[in-house]
């Protein structure tokens, strides 16, 4: 079976941190820790969007760590949606 078939994508359309200190870098470190691909970016409305692509177990572990949040970055809400990948990322990017 093709490894691509095992990949899942989870798009986090909204993460609201109380303080946005190092949120993108924190997310980047989690992605690297669990070998996830995708991106993290700040949105113009003050929220953060993340797209993780990877193995299901790695996605679950990464999401659990996101809930903990960075130091001084209390997480207030995470809105996530599983989606079919339109694009397959080769790495994890900070935009």
Marked catalytic residue, from 2, 42, 45, 77? 42
**Residue 56 structural domain:** 3-94
Q: Respond yes or no: is residue 45 known to be catalytic.
A: no
Start-to-end CA span in the chain (Å): 33
pLDDT of residue 35: 95
pTM of the model: 0.75
Which of these, 17, 28, 23, 26, lies nearest to 89 by C-alpha position? 28
**Per-residue pLDDT tens over the stretch 22-50:** 788 889 999 999 999 998 888 887 778 88
Which of these, 29, 24, 62, lies nearest to 40 by C-alpha position? 24
Marked catalytic residue, from 2, 5, 20, 24? 24
Alpha helix stretches (DSSP H) within the chain: 23-33, 56-68
* Total domains in the fold of the chain: 1
* 50, 13 contact by CB (below 8 A): no
CATH number at residue 34: 3.30.70.100
Q: Respond yes or no: is residue 20 known to be catalytic.
A: no
Rounded to whole angstroms, the Cα distance separating 4 from 78 reads 26
């Amino acid at each position: 079976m093709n490894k691509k078939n095992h990949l899942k994508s989870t798009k986090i359309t909204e993460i609201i941190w109380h303080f946005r200190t190092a949120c993108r870098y924190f997310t980047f470190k989690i992605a690297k820790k669990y070998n996830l691909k995708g991106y993290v970016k700040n949105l113009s409305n003050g929220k953060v969007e993340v797209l993780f692509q990877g193995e299901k177990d790695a996605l679950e572990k990464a999401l659990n760590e996101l809930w903990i949040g960075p130091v001084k970055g209390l997480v207030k809400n995470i809105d996530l949606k599983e989606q079919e990948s339109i694009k397959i990322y080769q790495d994890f990017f900070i935009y």
